[in-house]
Amino acid sequence: MDLDDVRVLVFLAPGIWQHREDAKSVGDGVYEMSFVPPNPGVYYVFVQSTSLGLEFNQSTPLMLSAVK
């Protein structure tokens, strides 16, 4: 089952930059999105799907580190 309401929120700690985008299904329950970090730093990635009852603040964040 592919969901059409999977959204991703990426923000640069401590929240000075953020990007929201719909994730695209690539099949088998896997979704993707891409972004280019504008600056070095630690980025947090959260997922939302209202049809699953999952809000951004309920998802476990993925932490990414961008370096120059």
For the chain, what is the domain count? 1
Domain that holds residue 43: 6-66
Q: 1 lies in a domain?
A: no
Question: Judging by DSSP bridges, how do beta strands 6-12 and 41-49 pair with one another?
Answer: antiparallel
pLDDT at 59: 97
Separation between Cα atoms, residue 35 and residue 10, nearest integer Å: 9
pTM above 0.95, yes or no: no
- Residue 49 and residue 7 in contact, taking contact as beta carbons nearer than 8 Å: yes
Separation between Cα atoms, residue 27 and residue 3, nearest integer Å: 10
Within 13 Å of residue 31, how many CA atoms lie on the same side as its CB? 17
Q: 40 lies in a domain?
A: yes
- How large is the average pLDDT for residues 46-67? 97
pLDDT at 66: 97
**pLDDT tens digit sequence for 2-55:** 899 999 999 999 988 999 999 999 999 999 999 999 999 999 999 999 999 999
